[in-house]
Amino acid sequence: MTETTVSPELACPIAPVVDLVFSRWTTPILWTLNEYGRQRFVELSRRITTITPKVLTQRLRQLERDGLVVRSYHAEVPPRVEYEISDLGRSLAPLFATLAEWSPNLAKVERARAEYDAQQKKRP
């Protein structure tokens, strides 16, 4: 019997979706844009207080490249740039709603971790 190597994408077809949507800052940015609508960079950084400006810039560029965020440049004095979630980004809402429904299970995860850690301490 020969062993075949299967790419992760074929072995688990949701892996690319998880990589795209659940990178460290993607979810908070998309949630914020969906919840509060079109926003300027400064508004986003105020709402997502733990992200650095550099990382926010990088993630917004990537999300724009991925088609999940739309960037609008307004040639005014001073120039104004706004970001909003795209229709493609908005199409992730059912996925996020399902995850929100699952979130009460986090308490069970915490209990399982505590039990596991307690058992590890007892091992020789």
Encoded tokens for 19: 């990589």
pLDDT at 96: 86
Checking if the pLDDT of 1 tops 60, the result is: no
Encoded tokens for 77: 């004095």
| Mean pLDDT for all residues in the chain | 90
pLDDT at 23: 82
* Per-residue CA distances from 54 to 23, 28, 51, 61 (Å): 16, 16, 8, 11
pLDDT at 46: 96
Q: Is 4 exposed, middle or buried (0-12, 13-18, 19+ CB in 10 A)?
A: exposed
Contact 59, 20 (CB under 8 A): no
Checking if the pLDDT of 2 tops 60, the result is: no
Dump pLDDT digits (tens) for 37-90. Answer: 999 999 999 999 999 999 999 999 999 999 999 999 999 998 899 999 999 999
